[in-house]
Structure 1
Amino acid sequence: MYVAQDWQDYEVIDTGGGEKLERWGDVILRRPDPQIIWPIEREDGQWRSVHGHYHRSSSGGGQWDMKKQLPDRWTISYDQLKFHIRPTNFKHTGLFPEQAANWRWMMDKIASAGRPVSVLNLFAYTGGATVAAASAGA
């Protein structure tokens, strides 16, 4: 398993109760994650002082409860890559930061290929892999 270890602007702070607490630059968000089945150890401190908390609806979907004013979007960096982040109306932020391990692998392979490389990104929902491939010369 590859782990994205080079993040400076993204961090999973804590997990529990079906949610994850994340730092996106200077913004702290609390979002649902159905794979997190263990309880929150202590729901205090940063869990309660978030910028935004996405609440799932029992009928599907959900909505953000913004506790602090956020810009419409903000920029975070991974290595030399820059991404605009914004909470969407379906809990996402426009980027899957756990994919950075794949971006690193692609960038290294493309940069060391010694020939022109073309990439077809079939998972282009966020564009992260496309930005990584292009930055490496694809």
Structure 2
Amino acid sequence: MDITADRWKDYEILDAGNGMKLERWKDVILSRPDPQAIWKPVRPELWRRADARYSRSRSGGGSWSFYKTLPPKWTVQYDSLKFYVEPTGFKHTGLFPEQAANWDWMRAMISRRAAAGGSVKVLNLFGYTGGATAAVSEAGAEVCHVDASKGMVARARENAVLSGLSGNRIRYIVDDAFKFVARELRRGNTYDAVIMDPPSYG
């Protein structure tokens, strides 16, 4: 089974090592912590090209050092999907590009069912900024997107508009995932598929 996310137009990992990774997000190069990168960098000369670097603090958290002025946010594209990204206070950019392999798999499954005349109703819990929501919506699914963060749900809406999906059947809910599921069970609502990618901290 091929799980390679090979349709990125605006993202690539340039190098990784010493607990860091160097990534290109369209025209911006970011250096961010990655505890899984336990080897030494392969191309150390590339790291001088970083436009910003996130450093962890010994007391917890961390901060960005910017080496040039960056836009508040900018867009990146995977296949026909478009997303806003920006350096956040927790080292993230608002998108996990490695999830694109999962988006491709889900789109293929939904497209296959749609081609056979079937409908698909998807519940996306911990939906974050809507990468999976946009992917399955584009494939033809009706989506219920749930996240506890009002800001993340707002960004998911923006990303759907960017990808030309504003007219699709996407329902956005700001709520605790467990409480929402409990209410859906009481209501007798069902879904054909459930996506769950909860944060590591809770």
Query: Quick one: percent identity of the two aligned structures?
Result: 58
The 1:77/1:42 distance shift into structure 2, 3 A limit, reads closer
Match of 1:23 in 2: 24
Residue 71 of structure 1 aligns to a residue in which SS?
Answer: coil
Distance 2:75 2:41 in 1: 29
Larger mean Cα displacement after TM superposition, 97-106 or 34-43: 34-43
Match of 2:39 in 1: 38
TM-score normalised by length of structure 2: 0.65
* Residues paired across the two proteins, number: 137
With a CA cutoff of 8 Å and minimum separation of 6, indicate the structure with the bigger relative contact order. Answer: 1
**Over the residues paired in the alignment, what is the CA RMSD in angstroms?**
1.3
Q: Deviations over 1:33-66 (max 9, x none)?
A: 011111224532x201211100111111000001
1:124 aligns with 2:122: no
TM-score normalised by length of structure 1: 0.94
Larger mean Cα displacement after TM superposition, 117-126 or 57-66: 117-126
Question: What letter matches 1:31 in structure 2?
Answer: R
Question: What letter matches 1:83 in structure 2?
Answer: F
Q: Deviations over 1:70-96 (max 9, x none)?
A: 100000111110000001000000000
Which structure has the larger Rg over C-alpha atoms? 2
Match of 1:106 in 2: 106
CA shift, 1:125, in A, is 2.0
Q: Deviations over 1:79-119 (max 9, x none)?
A: 11000000100000000000001001111111121311111
Unaligned runs of 5+ in 1: none
Distance 1:15 1:8 in 2: 20
Q: Deviations over 1:2-26 (max 9, x none)?
A: 2212212110010011000000111
Residue 94 of structure 1 aligns to a residue in which SS?
Answer: coil
Unaligned runs of 5+ in 2: 142-202
